[in-house]
Amino acid sequence: MLHLSTEAIILQTTDFAEWDRIVSVYTKDFGKIRGIAKGAKRSRKRFGNALEPFTHNEIFFVEKETQGLVRFERCHIINMFTEMAHNLRKVIYGSYFLELVNTMTPEREKNSEIFSLLLFFLNLLKEDGFREDLMRIFELRLFSLLGYQPQFLSCTTCGHEFRVEERYRFSVKRGGIVCSKCLNKHPNLLPLSNGTIRIFQQAQNLTLLKIKRIFFSPSANEEGKMIFGKFLEYHVGRRPKSLDLLDQLR
């Protein structure tokens, strides 16, 4: 039996049996793990509010074997992100971040960059003036960290580098742009302008700290939303629930 601790962000908490809760967390040192918090449903003595989604904790847990649920022992809250609770839009944006990480990451595969990305964007959400186009950057960066980096630098069919004089579309199946000469080889291509492609190229390259310098035009945001929505459905196998909530907000 191993006693372990790490920083973690609570992704999802569900009631389990009479007294317990099952909690999914993304950790800095172990990737996504799921565990049981014994007695957490009945009494708040041990965990308090620490198991609420979004909460950034130091968690202490026991691992019996390398598969299955761990047992959460206690948590030390680092940040609750309570500022967000008063703003429905921000709660839904944040829920979307949590849902994507929860559904797209494999269990127990360490990726500290995904942890940092999630924490960085939850902190961005706390700030005034969070813009919807920042969601596109989160999507793009998460895809890349998961190994699905969409290709915007060259045509995914003939390999020719992106040129401003050329026209492109996006292929979900190929995972990137397709130039006008290769259009006929692929069905179901999505439209996107060269301006949007260039914003995506920048968004893939900049360090996180500089990410707020990128501004999407409304049309680039719409194109990105359509493309990444389809790209997500293709890789996850279904549309994320929080995307429907986001649409209802608009």
Return d(Cα 42, Cα 44) in angstroms, integer.
Answer: 7
- Residue 189 within binding range of Zn ion, rule CB under 5 A: no
Smallest gap from residue 17 Cβ to Zn ion (A): 56
Among candidate residues 234, 233, 236, the one with its CA nearest the CA of residue 103: 236
Residue 158 lies near Zn ion (rule: CB under 5 A): yes
Residue with tokens 């971040």: 97
Q: Considering only residues 37, 104, 182, 232, which one is a binding residue for Zn ion as defined by CB under 5 A?
A: 182
Cα dist from 69 to 29, 52, 62, 72, 202, whole Å: 16, 18, 9, 9, 40
Closest to Zn ion by CB, 158 or 236 = 158
Is 135 one of the binding residues for Zn ion (CB under 5 A)? no
Shortest Å distance, C-beta 235 to Zn ion: 23
179 binds Zn ion, rule: CB under 5 A: yes
Cα 18 from chain centroid (whole Å): 31
**Helix-then-strand count for the chain, H and E:** 6, 8
Quick note: the x/- pattern for Zn ion over 3-32, rule CB under 5 A, is: ------------------------------
Minimum Å distance from CB 175 to Zn ion? Answer: 14
Residues of the shown chain interacting with Zn ion in the complex, contacts defined by CB under 5 A: 155, 157-158, 179, 182
